[in-house]
A and B are shown apart, each in its own frame.
Chain A
Amino acid sequence: EVQLVESGGGLVQPGRSLKLSCAASGFTFSNYYMAWVRQAPKKGLEWVATISTSGSRTYYPDSVKGRFTISRDNAKSSLYLQMNSLKSEDTATYYCARHERAPDYWGQGVMVTVSS
């Protein structure tokens, strides 16, 4: 059974940093692209980042490019999202997802609140 468990969320002040983690199990992690998708409170879904199997290629929308960094550790079956220079509009539930052109399996999500 595919399982994705996010951690690292919480309350952070604007301009500060936060790092999310995602522990994967139930599939061969190193064989799959992975992604982060977020959902602001009562809003729709927004793709945030994708990383290739080796980690050599990463992709971001303009809204987070230069501030967020996706990475992975295949030996630990773990995915990460380093978020810098956080803004109030980054407040959202962040989902880790296995990604084959699109998310197929999703974690339960972790809440990030950016507020002073």
Chain B
Amino acid sequence: DVVMTQTPVSLSVSLGGQTSISCRSSQSLVHSDGNTYLYWYLQKPGQSPQLLIYKVSNRFSGVPDRFSGSGSGTDFTLKISRVEPEDLGVYYCYQGTHYPYTFGAGTKLELK
């Protein structure tokens, strides 16, 4: 199975500040069709996860441009700029390239 390793486990950030989360996969996430199926989710306290970024760098509908994704192969990054209170929660990366599909363990974003 593809292991998704997220770092750090937790982050403290000031409102208005910038931060980033790393996700590394144990195998390349480049699919035979040429796409890289790496996604980012945010789970706010008491809520269902919500999709932020699909296929490495594409923002999902309604996601503000403060969120950006980058990376390739096995190394990926989610950047959050101008952090707002509604950005707090647990962030997960996910790969949809190889069965079984797998999530990272999560990164908790808290206020400093």
Q: Do A and B associate with each other?
A: yes
Binding site for B on A (CB under 8 A): 37, 44-47, 50, 59-62, 95, 101-109
**Shortest distance in angstroms between A100's beta carbon and chain B's nearest beta carbon?**
8
The smallest beta-carbon distance between B96 and chain A, in angstroms, is 4
Q: Give B1-34 interface residues, CB cut-off 8 Å to A.
A: 1
Overall SS of chain B's interface: loop
A102 touches B48 (CB 8 A): no
Tell whether, in the assembled complex, residue A101 and residue B96 are in contact, meaning their CB atoms are under 8 Å apart.
Answer: yes
Which of B1, B96, B100 interacts with A102 by CB under 8 Å? B96
B48 and A106: CB pair below 8 A?
yes
Subset of 9 A-B contacts with CB under 8 Å: A44-B92, A44-B104, A44-B106, A59-B99, A61-B100, A61-B101, A101-B35, A103-B41, A104-B54
Q: Is the CB of B101 within 8 A of A102?
A: yes
Bound-state Cα–Cα, A63 to B103, Å: 15
Q: Which residues of B contact A95 (CB under 8 A)?
A: 48-49
Q: Which of A45, A59, A105 contacts B92 (CB 8 A)?
A: A45
Q: 6 shortest A-B CB distances, which residue pairs?
A: A61-B100, A101-B96, A106-B48, A47-B101, A102-B96, A45-B103
Bound: A102/B94 CA distance, A? 8
